[in-house]
Structure formats: C-alpha cells, structure tokens
Amino acid sequence: MAESPMTMHAGHAAALEPSPYGMSSRKLVMWLFITADAATFGAILFGYGFLRAGTADWPRPFEFSPTIVNGMVMTFVLLTSSLTMLQAVAASNRDDRPATARWMGITIVLGALFAVLHLREWFKMFGEGWSLSANPTGGPVAFGASFFSITGLHLLHVVTGVVALTVIAIMFRRGRLNAGHIETTGLYWHFVDLVWMFVFPLMYLLNAH
C-alpha cells in the first residue's frame, strides 16, 4: 500500500478516508490547538479591557525610553525569529538537515533573547514596586495583575516554544523526524509571534505615558 502523510502508520480506516483538510493529523491538531489558544488569549485580553473600562484612574506608567523602546526591540526580535523559522521550514523541505538545524538554532537564540529582554523588564518593574498585587503610584492594582498575567502567559508560551524548538531541532538533525514536524512546530512559533502583535499595542502602547 502506498504511503502518504495522511495514512502513514494510521491503519486501514485512515487509508480509506483521506483527510478533508488535506493535511496530516499532526498538523490539523496543531491548528486546532492554535485556535483554542487564540480564544484563550482573546478572552484574557477582553478581561483586561473589561478591567480597564471599569477603572476610572487606570495608570499609564510606561515611558518611551526604556519601556516602549524595549518593547519595539522585543517585537523586532520575535518577528525576525518568525523569518528564521520560515528559513528552517524551507531548508527542511529540501531535506537539508544541517541548514534546518542552523536556522532553528538562530530561531531558538532569538526566542531566548526575547525572554531575557522580557524578564529584564519585569525585574525592573519589580524593583520599582510593581507586582501582581501592588501599584507603587497608589492607583489600582488591577494594572499589575493584568499586565503581569497577560505578558506572563505569553512569556510561558515563548519559553515552552524555545524548549520545543530545541527538542525538535535535535531530533530532526539526528534523522528521527521529518519536514512535517518542522512545519508543525513552525506553526506554533508563528502563533506566538501573532499573539505578541496584540499584546504589544494593547499592554504597552495603550499604557504609554
């Protein structure tokens, strides 16, 4: 029986019923996860909007330098990591394993850099007295609660993405995975970048001083 991405290792039933989406189950599941995660982020951002709309004296503490500049650098780093991930996917399609590992390595470094920049900013805010339940200006603590929880959830996605990319890159380089795995992992990484396209304007720019 001829093998295809949709029927490999999937048994007799799958051989008779090709996927209506024209993709492997692995990739479809990643899309479904991305959809659910997008709903989660959307809901949490709506919650932030609710808190903000219901608070009369919402603080806007972020100065252009260093906070907004740092945010712009983080955005540049994350967008560039999406580009390098595309390079990795293209290399995997050519079955060029060393190039794939190189490009994924660059993506991993950029992802780690994003996390470091983010944590550096967090600790700066902690030093100023901000936290999940504290506002050093004496205003509503909901600012800290929403800012750290939303950016924290995104940071968690970045860190787990970096770990996943590392594992996938190593296993692909050793010949244990195929290009489909790289593409699927790339979908997750692009989603993390896509979420930041909302987090940066809503959490940083709308709170700019």
Partner 1 sequence: MTAPESTREMGMKGYVMIWGALLLIVALEVFLTYQHLAPGVLLFALLALAVVEAAIGLMYFMHMRYERSLLFWSTIPYLLLCFLLLNHMWRDAARIISLKGQAP
Instruction: Give least dist CB 48 to partner 1, A.
Output: 11
Q: Does 82 bind partner 1 (CB under 8 A)?
A: yes
Q: Does 202 bind partner 1 (CB under 8 A)?
A: yes
| Alpha-carbon span 90 to 183, nearest angstrom | 9
Q: Does 31 bind partner 1 (CB under 8 A)?
A: yes
User: Of 129 and 137, which CB lies nearer to partner 1 in the complex structure?
Assistant: 137
Q: Does 121 bind partner 1 (CB under 8 A)?
A: no
Count the helices and strands in the chain (H runs, E runs). 6, 0
Compute how many other C-beta atoms are within 10 angstroms of the C-beta atom of residue 14.
Answer: 15
First to last CA, the chain: 65
**One residue of 18, 29, 54, 120 binding partner 1 per CB under 8 A:** 54
Q: Does 17 bind partner 1 (CB under 8 A)?
A: no
Compute how many other C-beta atoms are within 10 angstroms of the C-beta atom of residue 152.
Answer: 13
| Alpha-carbon span 99 to 168, nearest angstrom | 14
Instruction: Look up residue 177 and give its two tokens.
Output: 């995975």
**One residue of 25, 93, 133, 137 binding partner 1 per CB under 8 A:** 93
Instruction: Give least dist CB 148 to partner 1, A.
Output: 21
Q: Are 145 and 133 in contact (CB under 8 A)?
A: yes
| Alpha-carbon span 104 to 186, nearest angstrom | 10
Residues near partner 1, by CB under 8 A: 3-5, 8, 20-24, 27, 31-32, 34-35, 38-39, 42-43, 46, 49-51, 53-56, 64, 68, 72, 75-76, 79-80, 82-83, 86-87, 89-90, 93, 95, 178-180, 183, 187, 190-191, 193-194, 197-198, 200-202, 205-206, 208
